[in-house]
Amino acid sequence: MRFTLKMLLGVAAAALAAANPASAQQISDGVVKIGVLNDQSGLYADLAGPGSVWAAKQAVADFKPAFKVEVIAADHQNKPDIGASIVRQWIDVDKVDLILDVPTSSVVLAVNQIVKEKNKVLIVSTGATADLTGKACTPNSIHWTYDTWALANGTGKAIVKTGGDSWFFITADYAFGHALERDTEAVIVANGGKVLGKVRTPFPGTTDFSSFLLQAQASKSKIIGLANAGGDTINSIKQAAEFGIVKGGQNLAGLLVFLTDIHALGLGTAQGLIMTEAWYWDMNDANRAFAREFAPANKGSYPTMAHAGVYSAVTHYLKAVTELKSDADGAKVVAQMKALPSEDKLFGKGSVRADGRHIHPMYLFEVKKPSESKGPWDYYKVRATIPAEEAFRPLKDGGCPLVN
């Protein structure tokens, strides 16, 4: 009797084992659902926002997947509680398989936990926090376009190498500003440059940067580093133009600036600003073609690196799902994305590292003078290319628990 019972159990177990992979070898609920979670109304709406939704849809259309793909979107209003509840509901009720884009570090880190717990996929394009591939890394998350470390490293190293070896920092006085300043300073010193001084600006709420800019001017440094973001960066650049700082021979280096910020500032104000980005629309024919399709659908605005990153990330995700023939197991999809080399028309060839960092070259741009600009949105010239292998934080330095 016992023997037959065991046999029965064995048969049942074998049947289950056979049935399980069979049921996993397909698209869950018959559709791959992509949820674009970002800021559609606030300060990050221009650089990501509705444009990211468009880019995700375009990537799906260009990929022509063999399965059904649906793209939905929501506005997290830059509040982690709203972002977290949307994501939980998306996964539990709407069966979303991939969470995409996600600006604002507090929202990124909150969503990251949920996606890991529910075993789905998170790909961040607009969010900047380097912790996502550091101590907060998970088997379910990938950081695509850039991070704070890459910006600090790219801007710091490339500027020092092209002659900007003395710096003065204007730093927003909170964790993000401190991190940018610390990372950039380390790179500057390592490459033989020196930091002549730094000043901390109260955050949030500083609107008058004049005394800080005068200190920076008096330091006679070649480069004034802006370790801040958003409205602080815009205000400090505007006021620097009013003081004639760039015309006086000093250059401003923005550590977190997007194309749409330059558009808002205008070339007259922003000229001479140096910054690192992952992608620019006017670099090759494929990028220009993408921008020409993007602009009419997005009120004439041109794509930022965040938008291009979304396109590139969705393409690679769909490739991995096609390969696996399944989207059910988030960690498996991410593992597949790490195993496959990535290639698409915007980011070219690349790869995803063990800690979830997508690896590609970064570029150091300088904002053109108004006289150099030949048309709408013609804002950047390339000052240096940072090769892929130098662009991101070395794997061992991040402290990601997945890497041992």
Partner 1 sequence: MIASRPVWIALLVAAALAAPFAVYPIFLMKALCFALFACAFNLLLGYVGLLSFGHAAYFGFAAYITGYTAKAWGWPPEVALVAGGAAAAGLGLVFGGLAIRRQGIYFAMITLALAQMLYFFCVQAPFTHGEDGIQAIPRGRLFGLIELGDSLAMYYFVLAVFGAGFLLIQRTIHSPFGQVLKAIRENESRAISLGYRVDRYKLAAFVLSAALSGLAGALMTLVFQFATLNNVHWHLSGEVVLMTLLGGVGTMLGPVVGAFLVAAIQQYLAQLGAWVTIVQGAIFVVCVLLFRRGIVGEIVARLRWLRAGKGK
Tell me which residues touch partner 1 (CB under 8 A): 40-41, 45, 49-50, 72-82, 84-86, 88-89, 92-93, 105-106, 109-110, 112-113, 129, 131, 136, 173-176, 202-204
Angle at CA 354, nearest 5°, toward 309 and 81?
60
Q: Which residues contact 265 (CB under 8 A, 6 or more apart)?
A: 234, 237, 238
Compare residues 130 and 346 and give the one whose CB is closer to partner 1. 130
Record the tokens describing residue 398, joined without a space.
């991040």
Q: How far is the CB of 226 from partner 1 (least distance, A)?
A: 17
Q: How far is the CB of 128 from partner 1 (least distance, A)?
A: 11
Q: How far is the CB of 74 from partner 1 (least distance, A)?
A: 4
Nearest-angstrom CA–CA distance, 310 and 236: 29
Are 393 and 130 in contact by the 8 Å Cβ rule? The answer is yes
Q: How far is the CB of 165 from partner 1 (least distance, A)?
A: 30
Compare residues 70 and 165 and give the one whose CB is closer to partner 1. 70
Exposure string (b/e) for 269-292, b if CB count within 10 Å is 16 or more? Answer: bbbbbbbbbbbbbbeeeebeebbe
CA atoms within 13 A on the CB side of 17: 6
Compare residues 172 and 267 and give the one whose CB is closer to partner 1. 172
The number of residues in the chain equals 404
Compare residues 86 and 255 and give the one whose CB is closer to partner 1. 86
Bridge-partner residues for 292, per DSSP? none
Record the tokens describing residue 227, joined without a space.
């370790």
Q: How far is the CB of 204 from partner 1 (least distance, A)?
A: 7
Backbone φ, ψ for residue 24 (5° rounding):
-80, -25
Q: How far is the CB of 35 from partner 1 (least distance, A)?
A: 10
Compare residues 67 and 174 and give the one whose CB is closer to partner 1. 174
Compare residues 16 and 93 and give the one whose CB is closer to partner 1. 93
